Amino acid sequence: MSLDDEPVFDALSYSWGSPITIREKAIPRTADGRSDINSIFPSSSSTAAVPYLTDLDRSALDYISSTDRLPFIDRNSDHGCFKQIICDGSKINITETLFDALLQLRRIVMSKKETNDTGRLYLESLPVSRSEFIWIDAICINQNDIDERNEQVSLMSRIYASAQYVFAWLGELDSLAEVSFSDIIRLGRMHQDDSELKVNLDSYFGSGILRTRRLYALAALLSRLWFRRAWVVQEAIYARRLYLWSGSLFMDWWIIIPMIQAIEDNGLDSEMASLMSRLICRQTSRKLGKKPTAIEPGMNNELLVPSEIHRNLG
């Protein structure tokens, strides 16, 4: 197709690597069903063997014990993993991240078709009507043809500006994303209902374990790889309408922007960074499957805090 013909299409924005950097793993349980926190952290009598445990904020242990889940940075969950699809009769290798996005999109499309076929009313999962075509770089560009790839890259701004809608795939919908999507959408609606409303995020997030959970979930969402890609800047800026997409949930991009600004205005970005440094463990999922070690403090250097995201995306 030629962009000069003004075709109607949507576009996908996504990270080629594993989209989720922060995951949670269930803590093993004892025979009587209780959380076996001692299998994760040594007892206080063992701090001599692990000196930095004495510097660990006790609230981190209290939080982890209350949720029965251990947070960790997963760097290699789909490193080098590819899936095969058939497009116009040809086999194409795509990343596992893109494969997951296509599967989720197909579930949504098929759900609508099956519902319509039975004469029932379908509750639209996507926030808007979809066009017939969707543009995806890994599929629409011949990655083995350097000349074609360079030519298409030069058109990237026009492609995203011409797309009817751009969907940013953030990855699967886990428990952390559910919490953060819910909070952002709720606050976004409050902001839309009253343009003069000054949301006090400090009081909204509450206190204690609930506050920790909400701030931690939000920081985990903003740490997903999509927010950290250089290409995201042009894809987000040029898009007419951009929707963040995780699992079956969609969120208008313009809802999250005031949220990030409010986080900075309320000074919560520093609290979120501090919280993540106390909670995040640097083991991969493979190591966690064996025996995870204690959380080390001061490990927030690999995470984007909201102020960095706001600067990057303008």
pLDDT at 301: 36
CA distance 15 to 161: 19
C-alpha 85: how far from chain center:
24
Determine the average pLDDT of the residues in 277-281.
70
Angle 112-117-122 from CA coordinates, rounded to 5°: 35
Partners of 135 in the β-ladder: 11
Rounded alpha-carbon distances, angstroms, from residue 91 to 14, 87, 104, 143, 187: 21, 6, 20, 13, 44
Q: What pTM value is reported for the model?
A: 0.78
Instruction: Provide CB contacts within 8 A for 152, sequence distance 6+.
Output: 137, 140, 141, 159
* Arithmetic mean of pLDDT, 79-85: 78
* Spatial distance between the Cα atoms of 79 and 96, rounded to a whole number of angstroms: 9
**In the chain, where the domains are located:** 26-75+193-224+253-313
What is the arithmetic mean of pLDDT over 287-307? 41
Q: Mind listing the pLDDT tens digit for each residue in 97-145? A: 999 999 998 888 787 777 777 776 666 667 776 788 999 999 998 888 8
Residue 88 pLDDT exceeds 70 = yes
- The full DSSP string for 143-208 is TT-HHHHHHHHHTHHHHHHH-S-EEEEEE---HHHHHHHHHHHHHHHHHHH-TT----HHHHT-SH
